[in-house]
Amino acid sequence: MKNAVLPIILAMTVSFLRAQDAGALSHFFEGKQVVVKIDLPGSQQGIDIYPQRPDSFDAKAYGRRMKSFPVSLRNGDTVVVTTVKVKDELIEFQLGGGGFGTLGDDSNTAVNFTPARKSQREKDLEEQLSHASNPDQKDSIKGKLDSLRRDRERNDRRNRALAERAAQIKRQRVDEERATGGSRFNLKYDAKVPANVTPQDVMAALAQYVSFPFAGDGHAASTVGASDANSAPDAVHGLQKGMREDQVRALLGNPTSVTDTEHDGLQVHTETFVQRNSSVRAEFVNGVLVRYSIDVR
């Protein structure tokens, strides 16, 4: 019985941790501005990245999509992270709407044209022509029949041209919407997305293609040394970049000092906490912990 229950408990635990990680990623990234370092296609297909592989960038798929779709985001563009989704083997990192072609987007550019069928009058004349024996009568029927056919074919040409024009207008509209609909990165894992994936893991996977100014360009690292960590109180070990201000305060208590500064237009909120024989300096951007250091006294 115990052997049967254990896999279920483990699966539930992994699902719970993955849901927690998904929420942490969403909270950390969504609504923040990033800078892309590569042109992105105007499609929900986006760009595929394989973090666990030596050749993580799928250049062939990238080339195909850049040929198939207009550019929606160009190298150097600043854009908002609109959605971060964690699925079974995939993390969707959506920018500026995630790319045209998602649910609700009309990407169909086809305009159907169906040639007109023969009218009953045309069929009747064909029937009469097949039974006519008088040459003059045949010529008269044939003249009427040719006139009807020309009218039908002329109407078909006009309607075909109208359909082609309508399709061209739809293609232009879709291209315009693709160019303004954002794009995305697809972080694809060989198995399940790791249950303990962190914002830093995502930033590391995208470092070649995205800058993260709100998090110190994605390179904001704790300055905690091994000896400092060993000397720090247990509460400090629970610190993780990506935590909210209220989570840090719940862990370390109220700060002893608070300062607000601006770095290149970025508002940085700094709080200092005294923990027995150490002092913790925590830096927040948009309410999210991006860097911390521990000074052991």
Q: Tens digits of per-residue pLDDT, 213-245?
A: 887 654 433 333 333 434 444 556 667 777 788
- What is the DSSP code string of 45-96? T-EEE-TTSSS-B-HHHHHHHHHHS-EEE-TT-EEEEEEEEE-SSEEEEEET
User: Which residues, other chains included, contact 210 with Cβ-Cβ below 8 Å and sequence gap of 6+?
Assistant: 34, 35, 36, 37, 185, 203, 218
What residue ranges in the chain does DSSP mark as E strands?
A: 33-36, 40-41, 47-49, 71-73, 78-86, 90-95, 183-188, 210-211, 257-263, 266-275, 278-285, 288-296
Q: How confident is the model at residue 15 (pLDDT cuts 50, 70, 90)?
A: very low
**165 belongs to a structural domain:** yes
Could you read off the pLDDT of 182-219 as tens digits, one per residue? 999 999 998 889 878 888 889 999 999 999 988 765 44
Q: Give domain status of residue 108, yes or no.
A: no
pLDDT reported for residue 233: 46
Question: 7 and 85: one domain?
Answer: yes
pLDDT at 75 over 90: yes
- What residues make up the domain containing 25? 2-100+181-215
Cross-strand partners of 23: none
Residues 201 and 255 in one domain: no
Predicted pLDDT at 16 = 40
Which single residue is written with the structure tokens 């279920």? 8
> Which pLDDT does position 104 carry in this prediction?
62
60 and 35 housed in the same domain:
yes
Q: Are 251 and 181 in contact (CB under 8 A)?
A: no
Q: CATH no. for residue 235?
A: 3.30.1450.10
Q: What is the mean pLDDT of the chain?
A: 80
Summarize pLDDT for 25-40 with one digit per residue, the tens.
888 899 999 999 999 9
User: For the segment 122-163, what is each residue's pLDDT rounded down to a tens digit?
Assistant: 898 888 889 888 988 889 989 999 999 999 999 989 888 888
Give residue 267's pLDDT: 80
208 and 90, same structural domain?
yes
pTM of the model: 0.54
User: Do 185 and 159 belong together in one domain?
Assistant: no
For the chain, the residue count is 297
Relative to beta strand 90-95, strand 40-41 is unpaired
Give residue 186's pLDDT.
96
Overall number of domains in the chain: 3
Task: Examine residue 221 and state whether it is found in any structural domain, yes or no.
Answer: no
In the predicted structure, residue 8 carries a pLDDT above the cut 70: no
Residues 142 and 275 in one domain: no
Would you call 287 helix, strand, or coil by DSSP? coil
Distance CA 238, CA 3 (A): 32
